[in-house]
Chains A and B, each alone.
With several copies, the nearest count.
Chain A
Amino acid sequence: MSHNLQKLTAILNSKAPYSNSAGKDALDIALIFGSFEQPTSLFFQGDGVYQLTQAQNGSIIDVKDYLKTFAAFEFYDIENIYVCQRSLKERGLPSYFHIDQVQVLTTDEFAAKLAIHHTVFRF
């Protein structure tokens, strides 16, 4: 495989975690890119921010809780994790999350960060 370490990939999450499989599908991509040592950033906007909420428990509704796998991001060197402050506010959500290293960004900062990436997948 040809490596180009300059090529940055962003995964933009826009769906809530359980009713839709988009979050899991995006996670699978993130982990593969991580395991191939591709620099990858995660963005959470809109209902996607619900994927970061503390104290969720999918097992209550028979979901294998893929959110727990988020703890592995560090192992995969996925260290750039950004959440949209405005989306949090609109939903009355606090700025603490079930994983560390989440950076809360204003819309301008969020837009600027997204714009340094070469590829953006949105789920």
Chain B
Amino acid sequence: MPTLHIVRQSAFNTNDFAQCLQVLRNGDVIVFIDDGCYNLHHKLINTVDSNAKIQLNVMEKHAQARAIIINKSLYTAINMNTLVELTMTTSRVITWQ
């Protein structure tokens, strides 16, 4: 029953991503889109428990527009089709904006 978390805000600017991290559960899926892509380089990302099997995805074109480099060993770069699929294959969606 994983939750899809769509993260749209920069953690450098607002508390939204920190709140998202508080409700993360094993097997949940995160997708960073819009200004959420800045979180790839925020220290909060290091607090994600590596044993919790959280999938970390980034909307590739949103990162690219912002000249944000995606470390592909940590993040999966996805497109909008994959986000639509993830919406349907997870059990619920929370948008952090």
What is the number of contacts between chain A and chain B, taking CB atoms within 8 Å?
90
Bound complex: CA A106 to CA B35 (Å)? 25
Can you list 20 A-B pairs with a CB-CB distance of less than 8 A?
A15-B13, A16-B35, A18-B34, A19-B34, A20-B35, A46-B13, A47-B13, A47-B35, A56-B65, A56-B67, A57-B67, A58-B65, A60-B64, A91-B12, A107-B23, A111-B24, A112-B25, A115-B1, A115-B23, A115-B92
Tell me if A50 is interfacial: C-beta within 8 Å of chain B: yes
- Is residue B57 contacting chain A, with contact meaning CB distance below 8 A? no
Chain B residue contacts of A14, Cβ below 8 A: 16, 19
A114 and B64 form a contact (CB under 8 A): no
Instruction: Judge whether A46 and B12 touch: CB under 8 Å.
Output: yes
Interface of B is mostly: mixed
Q: Which residues of B contact A120 (CB under 8 A)?
A: 92-94
Instruction: Please name 13 further chain A to chain B contacts, defined as beta carbons within 8 Å, in addition to the given A45-B23, A47-B10, sorted by A numbering.
Output: A15-B13, A45-B22, A46-B15, A46-B16, A46-B19, A53-B66, A53-B67, A57-B67, A61-B62, A91-B38, A107-B22, A110-B22, A122-B96
CB distance from A64 to the nearest CB of B (A): 12
- Taken together as a complex, chains A and B put the C-alpha atoms of A90 and B41 apart, in Å, by 9
Instruction: List A contacts of B12 (CB < 8 A).
Output: 46-47, 90-91
Q: Which residues of A contact B96 (CB under 8 A)?
A: 122
What chain A residues lie within 8 Å of B93 (beta carbons)? 120
